[in-house]
């Protein structure tokens, strides 16, 4: 059995900047991912006890070694929103890095036979609490640390059914073809990382409404974001980003070849 992308899928990825494969993982595997995600949240919260806390535009971040934990934005919230990297906190999530269902398509997107992990995140949107991700590209975050930023494709693995109501990922179709766009020039600390709305056509956004266990591959230059979770269902997902083998990871500087 091969999980390689077909020519048709590759063509769609290059045209749209994203590609969906639904129900790649079965329900028992998805249950394992959810359990692993919750254990990772507990471990990350423990790590934060000794980490370095800082605020960016009033949002709380904690660096514990090379692991960064973001909290929800309401004042004093103890709700974990993002953990980066997360694979090293839980063996079940680490195993996803090597899973052929992810790696074989990634070889085609990176364009090399051997690939490595660049970074990975656990993005958690709790019911009625999970906040939005404003429109952004990932490449401007990475361009100063990486000389091959065009070759850092992402894959989002959904741990819950994702819908408009619970704040599914949205990708702007065709926004990946012109490299890094300028950020928003306001007086905030994070504004420069959010894409200037004049640079892309918001009407081209596509909501990635997919069942749990699905994969959404998207380009490092694709403009993407998501709305808050207004539902009573969680929206948990892991985003893994790959690169050619032999290169160090973004945050730890270590190599994690597949
Ligand atoms: O999880 C989401 O809805 C957005 C994720 C995202 O934008 C990112 O991880 O860069």
pLDDT, the chain, mean: 97
What is the percent of the chain where pLDDT is above 90?
A: 98
Q: Whose CA is nearest to atom 10 of ligand 1?
A: 138
In this predicted structure, the answer to whether residue 23 has a pLDDT above a threshold of 90 is yes
Q: What is the DSSP-derived secondary structure letter of residue 248?
A: B
Q: How many residues does the chain have?
A: 258
What is the percent of the chain where pLDDT is above 70?
A: 100
**What are the structural domain ranges in the chain?**
7-244
pLDDT for 1: 87
Under a CB-based contact definition with an 8 Å cutoff, are residues 256 and 117 in contact? yes
**Residue 168 CA, closest ligand 1 atom number:** 3
pLDDT band at 75 (very low <50, low <70, confident <90, very high): confident
**How far is Cα 255 from Cα 65, in angstroms, rounded to an integer?**
17
Peptide bond into 85 cis (omega under 30): yes
Q: Stretch 72-84: mean pLDDT, rounded?
A: 94
**How far is Cα 215 from Cα 141, in angstroms, rounded to an integer?**
23
Protein residues whose CB sits closer than 6 Å to any atom of ligand 1: 121, 123, 133, 138, 169, 224-226, 237, 239
Radius of gyration for the chain, computed over Cα atoms and rounded to the nearest angstrom: 17
**Residue 167 CA, closest ligand 1 atom number:** 3
Ligand 1 centroid distance, CA of 228 (Å): 12
- Tens digits of residue pLDDT in 127-165: 999 999 999 999 999 999 999 999 999 999 999 999 999
In this predicted structure, the answer to whether residue 76 has a pLDDT above a threshold of 90 is no
Ligand 1 centroid distance, CA of 138 (Å): 9
Ligand 1 centroid distance, CA of 63 (Å): 19
Give the three-class secondary structure for 132. Answer: coil
**How far is Cα 184 from Cα 85, in angstroms, rounded to an integer?**
26
Ligand 1 centroid distance, CA of 133 (Å): 6
- Tens digits of residue pLDDT in 214-247: 999 999 999 999 999 999 999 999 999 999 999 9
**Residue 239 CA, closest ligand 1 atom number:** 9
Ligand 1 centroid distance, CA of 123 (Å): 7
pLDDT band at 66 (very low <50, low <70, confident <90, very high): very high
pTM of the model: 0.98
Tokens for 35, please give them. Answer: 């359990």
Give the three-class secondary structure for 60. Answer: strand
**How far is Cα 102 from Cα 238, in angstroms, rounded to an integer?**
12
CA 102 to chain centre: 14
- Tokens 């200037």: give the residue: 196
pLDDT for 170: 98
* Residue 105, Ramachandran bin (φ over 0: left; ψ between -120 and 50: alpha; else beta): alpha
**Residue 82 CA, closest ligand 1 atom number:** 9
pLDDT for 74: 86
pLDDT for 94: 98
Tokens for 245, please give them. Answer: 């083998």
**How far is Cα 88 from Cα 252, in angstroms, rounded to an integer?**
11
- Tokens 């390689």: give the residue: 4
- Tens digits of residue pLDDT in 163-182: 999 999 999 999 999 999 99
Task: Supply the CATH classification number for the domain 7-244.
Answer: 2.60.120.620
Give the three-class secondary structure for 6. Answer: coil
Mutate to test the pocket of ligand 1, among 129, 156, 171 (most ligand atoms within 8 A of CB): 156
How many Cα atoms within 13 Å fall on the side-chain side of residue 159?
24
Tokens for 78, please give them. Answer: 């103890």
Indicate the pairing of strand 59-64 with strand 169-172: unpaired
In this predicted structure, the answer to whether residue 80 has a pLDDT above a threshold of 90 is yes
Give the three-class secondary structure for 245. Answer: coil
Ligand 1 centroid distance, CA of 29 (Å): 22
Q: Whose CA is nearest to atom 4 of ligand 1?
A: 225
Q: How many CB atoms within 10 Å of residue 232?
A: 9
């Amino acid at each position: 059995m091969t999980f390689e992308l077909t020519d048709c899928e590759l063509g769609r990825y290059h045209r749209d900047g994203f590609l969906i494969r639904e129900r790649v993982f079965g329900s028992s595997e998805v249950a394992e991912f959810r359990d692993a995600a919750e254990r990772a949240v507990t471990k990350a919260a423990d790590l934060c006890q000794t980490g370095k806390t800082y605020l960016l535009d009033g949002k709380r971040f904690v660096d514990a070694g090379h692991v960064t934990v973001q909290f929800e934005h309401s004042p004093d919230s103890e709700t974990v929103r993002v953990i980066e990297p997360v694979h090293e906190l839980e063996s079940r999530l680490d195993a996803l890095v090597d899973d052929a269902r992810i790696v074989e398509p990634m070889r085609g997107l990176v364009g090399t036979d051997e690939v490595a992990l660049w970074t990975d995140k656990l993005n958690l949107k709790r019911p009625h609490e999970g906040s939005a991700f404003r429109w952004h590209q990932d490449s401007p975050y990475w361009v100063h640390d990486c000389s091959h930023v065009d070759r850092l494709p992402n894959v989002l693995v959904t741990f819950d059914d994702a819908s408009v109501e619970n704040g599914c990922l949205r990708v702007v179709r065709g926004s990946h073809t012109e490299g890094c766009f300028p950020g928003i020039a306001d007086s905030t600390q994070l504004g420069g990382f959010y894409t200037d709305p004049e640079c892309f056509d918001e009407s081209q956004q596509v909501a990635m409404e997919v069942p749990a266990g699905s994969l959404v591959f998207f380009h490092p230059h694709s403009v993407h974001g998501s709305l808050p979770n207004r539902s009573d269902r969680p929206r948990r997902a892991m985003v893994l980003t790959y690169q050619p083998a032999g290169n160090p990871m973004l945050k730890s500087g270590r190599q994690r070849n597949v």
